[in-house]
């Protein structure tokens, strides 16, 4: 019984302290949490699409991409309207709000063009 009373007072104090946070500060905290969540989601995109959406391989560059185009493509993957690739698995795990947030995030990233190094052939005498 004593534990239940302690739990009640703890919950009540948490609710009261949360209600004492000014609405403006609470809004700022929510925006910061959303931005942090979006950066975490975007980090998982980096494995294929490069840091901040700047691909160095054959995958599309997401940095600087039009928000509407990004959303349209991601929703098509999510709904199975695009050919199945690994992207339809990723898109199905995202909410529409997360897709919107990622669209804004990638649209704001500066597009960087990477120059691929020239391939060189080893000389026949190398290592023999």
Q: Residue 48 pLDDT more than 60? A: yes
CATH of residue 53's domain is: 1.10.760.10
Q: In this structure, is residue 127 part of a structural domain?
A: no
Q: Residue 74 pLDDT more than 90? A: yes
117 burial (CB, 10 Å; 0-12 / 13-18 / 19+) is exposed
Q: In this structure, is residue 12 part of a structural domain?
A: no
DSSP single-letter state for residue 120: -
- The more confident residue out of 6 and 121 is 121
Domain count, the chain: 1
Residue numbers of the domain that contains 41: 34-112
What's the average model confidence in pLDDT over 92-120? 86
Q: In this structure, is residue 38 part of a structural domain?
A: yes
Q: In this structure, is residue 108 part of a structural domain?
A: yes
Q: In this structure, is residue 124 part of a structural domain?
A: no
Q: In this structure, is residue 121 part of a structural domain?
A: no
Instruction: Name the residue among 93, 66, 67 with its Cα closest to residue 78.
Output: 93
Tell me if 103 sits within 8 A of 70, measured CB to CB.
yes
What's the average model confidence in pLDDT over 80-103? 91
What's the average model confidence in pLDDT over 7-13? 42
Average pLDDT, the chain: 78
Tell me if 108 sits within 8 A of 62, measured CB to CB.
no
pLDDT at residue 56, as a whole number: 87
Banded model confidence at residue 10, pLDDT cuts 50, 70, 90: very low
pLDDT at residue 113, as a whole number: 79
């Amino acid at each position: 019984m004593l534990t239940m009373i302690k739990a009640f007072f703890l919950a009540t104090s948490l609710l009261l302290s949360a209600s004492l946070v000014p609405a403006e500060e609470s809004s700022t905290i929510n925006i910061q949490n959303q931005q942090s969540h979006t950066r975490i989601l975007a980090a998982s995109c980096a494995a294929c699409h490069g840091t901040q959406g700047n691909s160095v391989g054959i995958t599309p560059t997401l940095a600087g991409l039009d928000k509407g185009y990004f959303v349209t493509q991601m929703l098509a993957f999510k709904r199975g309207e695009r050919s199945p690739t690994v992207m339809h698995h990723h898109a199905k795990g995202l909410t529409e709000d997360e897709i919107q947030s990622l669209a804004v995030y990638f649209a704001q990233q500066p597009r960087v063009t990477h120059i691929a190094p020239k391939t060189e052939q080893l000389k026949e005498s190398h290592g023999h």
